[in-house]
Structure 1
Amino acid sequence: MTGTGTLARLSIFPLPGALLFPGLQLPLHIFEPRYRALVTDALARDRRIAMIQPRGTQDDAPLFTIGCVGHIDQVEALDDGRFNIVLEGRSRFRLIRELPATTPFRQVEAELIEDDDDEALSAVERASFEREARRFADAQGYSVDWDSVARLDDISLINGVSQIAPFDAAAKQALLEADGLEARCELLIQLMQFFGRHDGGDDNRVTLQ
């Protein structure tokens, strides 16, 4: 359940493999000069940094369409100019176009996506998800505090698992792009079922490439 939002100029951090979901936190160690400049600029303005996946490893790689705006919630400035920061996900955004920029970091025009903060799963959907999550955790040998999980609201649960699950970046990008809590929950279940059947090897992550 999403709506269209306002347009915004966003400074982006296209870091491969680092995805942020609304309501979740992402710790980052900032050491490259261009991204130290990005953090310095964000701290002087609105503390916003937009995380989005690049479609390649080159500096000017094309970008995926959907990302997440983060707010610098915690910051530690180190003596040598590096930063340790914690971003808190605020809202997804839809890329419209990349903007010409004189800054060392890239900037885009984007539409902020107004996700429904009151979305909830049905009792059947929640039970189905928790059942599959238990199977997945048991199969992977994860230790989970299920009492704490039971106390999470539906959005925190689904977004939290989406961000921390051991899937590859393509799978997590698909989760971020899923429109609505129910769709994201259904995709998570499918990914856990697929991963649960994966027969191992040197790289056990789900791959949707």
Structure 2
Amino acid sequence: MFQAANLPSSLPVFPLSGALLLPRAPLPLHIFEPRYLVMLDDTLKSSHRLIGMVQPVQSADTSGGLNNVGCAGRVTGFSETDDGRYMITLTGISRFRITDETESFAAYRKCDVSWDGFDRDLGAREHDDGLDRQKFFSLLGRFLETNELQSDWDSLREADDEMLINSLAMLCPFKPEEKQALLEAPSLIARRETLIALFEYAVRGGSGQEVMQ
């Protein structure tokens, strides 16, 4: 298990719009670009096996910019295809804040990072005592219907608070800036509140009417 003292001060980063990784959650990825194949090979040789998932800045005025906050994941599973591509699983360890981009001869990007302010990511699983599951699932059902999506309701009902909220945050088809807001939520409760706001906004089609009852 990682502790703050043994987290690295720099990370290889994988900018991927719309991809959200959260602490203790798994994220499957398909790696095929040559520079990221090199990144993965280098990561597997490292002692920590961490990759920083970060979203590019969504702006017409910014080219190549990165959001300041990302989440580091440890490579916990991988397989290689016959044509040299990788299917990997990252398990979220902790969020980080980018302090600088490192100059490097590597084909992929590296950043200096700070782990300050994300102590809870390395702790025990979070709980949300204020979660009203009946109302939450009712709103989720309307969100899924609005977006013509389906879900495994049995698995959702059996999931603990953290798995339920974080899985929905990662899997639901939100915009990149909305995914970033979910990532930066300071607690599980704040992430649930952000999720509810996004569900309500989608259900009401952008109107100001409150719909969760």
Q: Same fold, TM exceeding 0.5?
A: yes
CA distance in 1, matches of 2:79, 2:125: 33
Structure 2 counterpart SS, 1:54: coil
1:115-134 matches, cutoff 5 A: 115=120, 116-134=123-141
CA RMSD, 1 decimal: 2.5
Q: Aligned partner of 1:111: which letter?
A: S
Distance 1:39 1:132, change over 3 A: same
Q: What are the superposed Cα offsets for residues 76-126 of structure 1, whole Å, 9 maximum, x if unpaired?
A: 223443222122222211111111112111111112322253431124544
> 1:34 touches 1:105 (CA, 8 Å); kept in 2?
yes
Q: Which residue of 2 aligns with 1:167?
A: 174
Q: Which moved more, 1:182-191 or 1:101-110?
A: 101-110
> 1:126 touches 1:154 (CA, 8 Å); kept in 2?
no
CA distance in 1, matches of 2:148, 2:84: 40
Aligned length: 196
**Structure 1 residue runs without a partner (length 5+):** 200-209
1:182 aligns with 2:184: no
Greater strand share, structure number? 1
Structure 1 counterpart SS, 2:9: strand
CA distance in 2, matches of 1:197, 1:161: 19
Q: Which residue of 1 aligns with 2:64?
A: 61
> 2:19 touches 2:170 (CA, 8 Å); kept in 1?
no
Q: Which moved more, 1:72-81 or 1:164-173?
A: 72-81
CA distance in 1, matches of 2:197, 2:92: 24
Distance 1:142 1:17, change over 3 A: closer
* TM-score, normalised by the number of residues in structure 2: 0.81
Q: Aligned partner of 2:96: which letter?
A: F
> 1:76 touches 1:83 (CA, 8 Å); kept in 2?
yes
Q: Which residue of 1 aligns with 2:155?
A: 148
Q: What are the superposed Cα offsets for residues 11-51 of structure 1, whole Å, 9 maximum, x if unpaired?
A: 11112222212222222222221111000001111321111
- Taking only the aligned residue pairs, the percentage that are identical comes to 38
